[in-house]
Chains A and B, each alone.
Chain A
Amino acid sequence: MASLRNLAASLNPATSTDDVNRAESREIDASTKWPAIFLLGSAVVWLLIGTVFALISSFKMHSPEFLGDYEWLTFGRMRAAHLNAVVYGWSVNASFAVAFWLMARLSRSVLRHSGLLIVAAAFWNIGVTLGIGGILAGDSTSIEWLEMPLYATPLLFLAYALVGAWAVITFRFGKSQHIYVSQWYILAALFWFPWLYSVAEIMILLTPARGTVQALVNWWFAHNLIGLWFTSIGLGAIYYFLPKVLGKPIHSYYLAALGFWSLAIFYNWTGVSHLIGGPVPVWVQSAGIVASFMMIIPVFVTAINHHMTMLGNFDALKNSPTLRFIVFGAVAYTLTSLQGSLMAVRSWSEVTHFTHYTVAHAHWGMYAFFTMTMFGSIYYIMPRILLQEWPSAKLISLHFWATAFGVTLYVADLSIGGIIQGLLLNTPVLAHKFGLQEGTDPVPFLDTVKAALPYLKWRSYAGILITVGHVAFAINFVWMIVRSVEVTKTKLTLFCTPTDTEVAAR
């Protein structure tokens, strides 16, 4: 009982007896060490697993006989497994870690009871493993972005509830006078996610809504998962690391606020644009289209803000790995969002909807923007929690150039392929005008498959390049951790003596 009360007290700043001193950032970083390493470690493992799934699916797209005799490796399952591994495995684990670390630092509060956070992270990863195992074994729900079977969900919820509560507690303990814009993004994301996820689980899987209402819920959820969770965490990270690395405050805090609120208001309506022309009420589609246009406001505001902050500091790109990845991510965010607005235009959607173009767009957002931003963040966070530098500068460079080139090739290639596929599929008159085909009748379906084939092959090459980058990253990551263990064992480090919190955290 007493210990329960103690626990309760230690979680409530009002009853806490702790000194209300500003925690030093080094102490704070130290308090996040083990959860961050656990989350990032799992993220890297999922990244590699997801990459393997990705390669297999990509090869299968142009060589369907590849591993064709294994049911659990069939394309439909591989693709779902890939998506869930990189989204719920890699991206969510990474964003948990980054969100925590940022939250602790920005609230100027040490992370309390970090052991429980590790338990939450473990639950999350068990849930994801169960879910992906379920997909491979044939329990996929076939609802996009929610393919994991229902039996994985309770674990994910539990894990999420713990993580969310911890972030809010950390925030409430904050000694900072100010709530920085990154914190808005993170708090909002933490709050929005469970809402989105539970509505989707309930209305699609538990007590299915009737007919195409499900489709609306599905895209309300899936698009918002990207826009309200991943985009929020990504932008939150950019708003912190960009000024921090440069040592220069963000250009305009007003613009940052404007960007945040316009995103919060407009983004969550855009999901319906995945259903343009589909069997859902026309007015919702129109609302989605309008919202997609309005997204131009937050995107431009944010882009201008980032660009003005960078102005005069482009030299720094040479020196800082974090900055390289972050700037790449920020530019990709602008481009992919503008592309998203364009894709909501009815006549453009007519061509590109249902084609590989959509896949390119998804990778532009989730990879070129979000994942690159996470890489940048990790390059910043790891040295600060392990108190040592990355082992190899060469591997960092290799990682950057392979992934930057890879994803650019990927996106360019699939976008072009998707447009050609879309023209042939949907608008024979236009396709004829561009000289893609004879006559103005729809081409036979198989011709659209064959036209896309070379682009699918090039996608695989791009995928291999990206894989090289990931392997370089993983080597560097593991090497760093192994070395840090050795260093502490032999007491060679003279970086610092463990702080009190670090001792307490053990």
Chain B
Amino acid sequence: MNRAPLIFLSIFFALALSWTGIVLVNQISYGSLQPVYDENDGKAYPLQTPGLAARGKLVYQDLGCISCHSQQVRRLGYGSDIARGWGERQSVAHDYIREDRVLLGTMRTGPDLRNIGARQADHTWHYLHLYDPQITSAGSNMPPHRFLFETRKVIGQPSPKAIQDKLPEKYRPKAGYEIVPTERGESLVEYLLSLKDTYAYPETKNVYVEPAPEAGKEGEKK
């Protein structure tokens, strides 16, 4: 038993060191970043995610979209993120401070989605894509999400969200029926559309080397 206390102490210190360095120091140094208030439009950035979109994020979480999609744009010149149009600038810590759950992701089997709301703002495109990705992107290996839709009888006015007319032949329902997104499907798309980091924080210009050529449209100030 002779060396036990010594061994225990060292074991403790070994992890304490990285816990301090990685967790504690960062929590103290940027764990309380505040939103940036822009005097021009009187809003605090990043903006709060609206309610329906926030619910959509839960759908995104429970379906595990993160296993194929990242939500972080790397700086210009490192990877081709910006060249691919995944963002106008790199992602910075500020972008995430309103999020209860940060979903950076580690896989890019599919494209980065951090700014999908900026580059693909069409609801219907997203509905069709979710219904069966082959419709919009033949050859994709993204799974179909038909369970986010329901087929129901048209009662009175057809729903404006109905998509059956744009679906390929094999998915068309019987006459008098329509295919509409469920509440979950609708909120998921709302969430996707809310994803856009276009505000230019001070640090996107200073600390990080090169901001994208035409960074930030919404609040281009500072």
Contacts and interface: CB of A to CB of B under 8 A. Distances in A.
B44 interface: no
A341 interface: no
A308 interface: no
Most A CB within 10 A of own CB, among B91, B92, B109: B109
Interface string B1-24: 111100110111011011101110
A354 interface: yes
B108 to A, nearest CB: 4
A76 B8 contact: no
A359 B109 CA distance: 11
A275 B100 CA distance: 19
A209 B22 contact: no
B65 interface: yes
A278 B78 CA distance: 10
Interface in A346-365: 346, 350, 353-356, 358-359
> Which of B1, B65, B102 neighbours the largest number of chain A CB atoms within 10 Å of its CB?
B102
Nearest to A362: B106
In this complex, which of A192, A220, A279 has the most chain B Cβ atoms within 10 angstroms of its Cβ?
A279
A69 interface: yes
A426 B78 CA distance: 8
A40 interface: no
B141 A62 contact: yes
Given A278-B104, A449-B139, A449-B141, A192 B17 contact: no
Nearest to B133: A64
A483 to B, nearest CB: 40
Instruction: Count chain A CB atoms within 10 A of each CB in B26, B60, B84, B144 and give the residue with the most.
Output: B26
B11 A208 contact: no
B83 interface: yes
B155 interface: no
A210 interface: yes
A211 B61 contact: no
A465 B106 CA distance: 27
A455 to B, nearest CB: 12
Interface stretch (A22-30, A90-98, A133-141, A157-165): A133-141
Contacts of B23: 199, 203, 213, 216-217, 220
B103 to A, nearest CB: 6
Interface stretch (B28-36, B172-180, B211-219): B28-36
Contact of A199 (B19, B26, B101): B19
Given A71-B147, A75-B64, A77-B63, A64 B111 contact: no
Contact-residue size bin, chain B (C-beta under 8 Å from the other chain): 35 or more
Interface in B78-130: 78-81, 83-84, 90-97, 99-111
A280 interface: yes
Contacts of A450: 139
A195 interface: yes
A139 B62 contact: yes
A228 B90 CA distance: 33
Interface string B179-219: 00000000000000000000000000000000000000000
Nearest to B92: A279
A271 interface: yes
Interface string A55-98: 00000111011001111001111011000000000000000000
B140 A449 contact: yes
Interface in B52-74: 60-68, 70, 72, 74
B56 to A, nearest CB: 13
Contact of B93 (A64, A75, A280): A280
B32 to A, nearest CB: 6
B27 interface: yes
Interface string A186-203: 011001100110010001
A264 interface: yes
A184 interface: yes
A504 interface: no
A12 interface: no
A75 B67 contact: yes
Query: What DSSP secondary structure best describes chain A's contact surface?
Result: helix
B109 A449 contact: yes
B29 A212 contact: no
Contact of A75 (B21, B68, B74): B68
B63 A76 contact: yes
B107 A210 contact: no
A281 interface: yes
Given A76-B63, A79-B64, A142-B64, A187 B31 contact: no
A21 to B, nearest CB: 16
A340 interface: no
A271 B91 CA distance: 20
A220 B144 contact: no
A442 interface: yes
A179 B1 contact: yes
A143 B101 contact: yes
Contact of B19 (A188, A195, A208, A442): A195
A188 B84 contact: no
Nearest to A172: B1
Max chain A CB contacts within 10 Å: which of B2, B4, B8, B65? B4
Nearest to B75: A277
B139 A277 contact: no
B142 A64 contact: yes
B137 interface: yes
18 contacts: A60-B143, A64-B143, A77-B62, A80-B67, A184-B11, A191-B12, A199-B23, A209-B27, A210-B97, A268-B17, A275-B104, A278-B72, A279-B95, A354-B106, A354-B107, A427-B79, A442-B83, A449-B141
Given A80-B64, A281-B30, 20 more contacts: A69-B144, A75-B64, A142-B60, A142-B62, A196-B15, A199-B23, A208-B101, A210-B97, A211-B94, A211-B95, A213-B26, A213-B30, A217-B22, A224-B18, A264-B10, A277-B74, A280-B26, A354-B70, A425-B79, A449-B109
